[in-house]
Structure 1
Amino acid sequence: MSQESSHRIVVIVEESTNPFELGCAIEIFGLHRPEIGGHLYDFRLCTPEPATLMRDGFFTLTGVADLHVADTADTLIIPSRPTLDVPRRPDVLDALRHAHVRGTRLVSFCTGAFTLAEAGVLDDRRATTHWQWAEKFRARFPAVQLEPDVLFVDDGDILTSAGSAAALDLGLHLVRRDHGAEIANAVSRRLVFAAHRDGGQRQFVERPVPDLPDESLAPVLAWAQQHLDTALTVADLAAQAAVSPATLHRRFQAQLGTTPLAWLTGERVTLACRLIELGEQRFDVVARRTGLGTAANLRALMRRETGLTPSAYRRRFSSAPAG
């Protein structure tokens, strides 16, 4: 399915880096995956010092490359850090600035956005961070267009994610962007993690939990994913969930941060991407099998959701020759 990649991803590990986000980066970008043809990326770690004490002194990281490896990165990742009031090392900030000038893709997990902002590369750019630190971030970096209520923000060459688990969402989004939906789904299956949560979903902000019957959307979502080739409506979803359309809308907004129609469209486009990757050449067939109706509608929605037309997506991700 995949071939060994020459795209180099480098993670800068600083003192007090959170091991969880570091582990997310290693798991998604660094592991050998024989089921999809090998390594997805040329993955490296680097540190400013020979020995780096991780968060809360859990362990000390040694034996990795120095900061000069950041100069070779195609994608440079900054994990989270709990010490938000401690200025970052000048050499780390310089590495980020130089990478940005070179056109390197920059990525932060959780409070790593503070490091990007301190380097000045987020000015007048869209970004997010953990909701708990949103007000502190806004106060320190007013030039950044902070979006505090989303899982991650893809602003082209700079991508930022929210709290810890959102690092997995952003990581899978990058795999999908670089290698297509089929490879991203294979990685998510190995992770036993949701294949695709759109970046626009809300962060799970702490709030009181009412004593209510089970209102999980999981059953209706699973049912809808098995019937994407039919002309599903919001009313159909509501009937399957045994609630009114208005109640269904409220549950989608509360649990997924989106509307039933937007979720359904996103699932249809994801399925369309997979069919194209697997070699389906007839866009009218793709449109019919995904419930998108016509090739024109497929073209419009794929461009809106992925930034690519079906033809461009096929050229980039399909392993089958164009017919």
Structure 2
Amino acid sequence: MLDDIPPTARPTLSRGRFRHVIAVLVPGDAIGQDVATVRQVFGPRTAPEADVAALYEVVPCGERDELAPLETLITADTVIVPGVENPLAQRGVAVIDALRAAYAAGARMVAFGTGAFLLGHAGVLDGRRATTHWQHAREFREHFPSTRLDTESPHVDDDRVHTGAGMLSGMDLALHLLSLDVGRARAEAVGRAVIAAPRAGIRARRDGEEPMAVVMGWLREHLHEPLSLPRVAEELYISERSLVRKFRIATGDTIFEWVNRERVDRARMLLETTDRPIAEIAVAVGFGSPETLRRNFQRHVGTTARSYRHKFRHANLD
């Protein structure tokens, strides 16, 4: 796989490694969708032209036992902070110190949405231009007056510090970073593979079509809820017939085939990064019951959720 990719079309490497290490900080209130997005963009793909997994190693990090230690941030090539549910919450000294040390060590620093608050507390955004979720712009300005907040851009690059804003900013920014690393064509292939249409230049949408990225963004935010075709169409002001037809054109799937895959991906993230019981995870991702989770997990992953968790933990201990 690596032999097929010229050195000029690969992400930067450090410390003699063969893969670019992406350390994902996973605090207790991390937004699960953002954490899953990193794996979706930088992980393996079925289509060879969109498979970048050989170039990257994604490592979830944090203070919980099932995660890699915070020190991993310091030796990573890229550090990604997902959005957090409580951006104004006080963060532990160890977390902030690890982010500060990673920045000092030369890592590329990335924040999705409200994750920018953690970079701000670490001093990474001092004197820089950045963005965050628009709903928290006022609080951000109050806490970080030395940062030049840009609320008009979907994401902001300032040297090796990258921040994203609002719904879908994680997917937009992740694909943008991939484009910087491996080129626009490969990033577009990945974008098509994960069925995303980012605002910042990597667009799969054709003129005259519904913005399916908006539909998919809404679905991702409501995966944990009961979903029906009438409800989705009503919430997004689209006729059911138009929604079905255009979603199939954009993705090749029905809405609920796509939703089930997204729910399985979110379940995988929770199995990897938490100790939550499987029955609780089933409810949290929208399957409702362990049996429904088991059936869909077996179909899409080829194993049971319990076996997947065991193998993932065992692999990380080797």
Superposition TM-score tier, normalisation by shorter sequence: 0.5 to 0.7
1:172–1:196: 8 Å Cα contact kept in structure 2? no
| Aligned partner (choices 29, 36, 45) of residue 60 of structure 2 | 45
Q: 2:241 aligns to what? A: none
RCO comparison, higher one (Cα < 8 Å, 6+):
2
What is the CA distance between 1:38 and its match in structure 2? 5.0
Give me the whole-angstrom Cα distance separating, in 2, the residues matched to 1:220 and 1:67.
44
Q: 1:191 to 1:103 in 2, by over 3 A?
A: same
Give me the whole-angstrom Cα distance separating, in 2, the residues matched to 1:20 and 1:89.
23
Give runs of ≥4 in structure 1 deviating > 4 Å. Answer: none
Q: 2:78 aligns to what? A: 75
| Aligned partner (choices 136, 139, 142) of residue 142 of structure 2 | 139
Query: Are 2:207 and 1:192 aligned?
Result: no
Q: 1:188 to 1:172 in 2, by over 3 A?
A: same
Q: Which has the larger radius of gyration?
A: 1
Q: Which moved more, 1:1-10 or 1:179-188?
A: 1-10
| Contiguous gaps of at least 5 residues in structure 2 | 11-17, 211-318
| Aligned partner (choices 140, 145, 165) of residue 162 of structure 1 | 165
Q: Which moved more, 1:187-196 or 1:7-16?
A: 187-196
What is the CA distance between 1:33 and its match in structure 2? 5.4
Percent of residue pairs identical: 36
| Aligned partner (choices 208, 213, 216) of residue 219 of structure 1 | 208
**AA at the equivalent of 1:47:** G
What is the CA distance between 1:164 and its match in structure 2? 3.3
| Aligned partner (choices 101, 118, 121) of residue 118 of structure 1 | 121
> What's the TM-score once normalised by structure 2's chain length?
0.56
Q: 1:119 to 1:22 in 2, by over 3 A?
A: same
| Contiguous gaps of at least 5 residues in structure 1 | 51-62, 200-215, 222-323
CA deviation profile, 1:179-225 (whole Å, cap 9, x unmatched) = 001110110110122266249xxxxxxxxxxxxxxxx993399xxxx
Q: Secondary structure at the match of 1:163?
A: coil
| Aligned partner (choices 77, 85, 105) of residue 102 of structure 1 | 105
What is the CA distance between 1:47 and its match in structure 2? 1.2
Q: 1:179 to 1:90 in 2, by over 3 A?
A: same
Q: 1:16 aligns to what? A: 29
Taking the TM superposition and a 5 Å limit, the aligned residue runs for 1:201-220 are 218-219=207-208
Cα RMSD (Å) of the superposition? 2.6
